[in-house]
Amino acid sequence: MQTRSPSRESVSKPMLFGLTAAVVAGVISPILLPHAAHPSMVYHILLHIASITIVTFLSIISFLAYKRAGGTRTLFMTLGFMALGVVEVFYLFESSGIYVPLSIPTLDIEIPHVILLAMLTLFGLGFLKVNK
């Protein structure tokens, strides 16, 4: 039976989620407050803030798991969550009206779509990676 050493103590996951939610809301709220006056967009913006909170929490948890156990599969999953977080930030800015167009003009491809493809690739690699 394993015992936890005092140096390996960590914050509980509910506490970490609450801290993550507070930091995300604290960072994003001042940026979005002037743009949240439209009653029809408040729920859309809140949806993106909730998504960013969850993906930030999952990124932190997967990063801590990678740091503790290592492994390529965990690294790919961590990078996939981080890529999803970047895309959610882009979509939040777009929905709140402070979006800077990020696209490849000659190909007519938006950067968030490229990042989503990279995210799916990273999750796929993490899922299909065989440990030897």
SS3 letters across the chain: CCCCCHHHCCCCHHHHHHHHHHHHHHHHHHHHHHHCCCHHHHHHHHHHHHHHHHHHHHHHHHHHHHHHHCCHHHHHHHHHHHHHHHHHHHHHHHHCCCCCCCEECCCCEEHHHHHHHHHHHHHHHHHHCCCC
Model pLDDT for residues 36-86, shown as the tens digit of each residue: 667 777 788 888 889 999 999 999 999 999 999 888 888 999 999 999 999
Q: Kindly indicate the confidence band of residue 6, based on its pLDDT and cuts at 50, 70 and 90.
A: very low
Q: What is the pLDDT of residue 8?
A: 52
Is 8 domain-assigned? no
Model pLDDT for residues 85-98, shown as the tens digit of each residue: 999 988 888 877 77
Model pLDDT for residues 101-114, shown as the tens digit of each residue: 677 778 878 888 88
Is 1 domain-assigned? no
Are the C-beta atoms of residues 12 and 74 closer than 8 Å to each other? no
Q: What is the pLDDT of residue 87?
A: 92
Q: Which two tokens stand for residue 100?
A: 């800077």
* Domains of the chain: total: 1
Is 20 domain-assigned? no
Distance CA 62, CA 79 (A): 9
Q: Kindly indicate the confidence band of residue 3, based on its pLDDT and cuts at 50, 70 and 90.
A: low
Is 90 domain-assigned? yes
Q: What is the pLDDT of residue 7?
A: 46
Is 23 domain-assigned? no
Q: Which domain holds residue 87?
A: 39-128
| pLDDT > 90? residue 29 | no
Is 92 domain-assigned? yes
Measured in whole angstroms, the distance separating CA 12 from the mean position of its chain's CA atoms is 19
Is 24 domain-assigned? no
Model pLDDT for residues 7-25, shown as the tens digit of each residue: 455 678 889 899 999 999 8
Distance CA 43, CA 16 (A): 25
Is 71 domain-assigned? yes
What letter represents residue 123's amino acid?
Answer: F
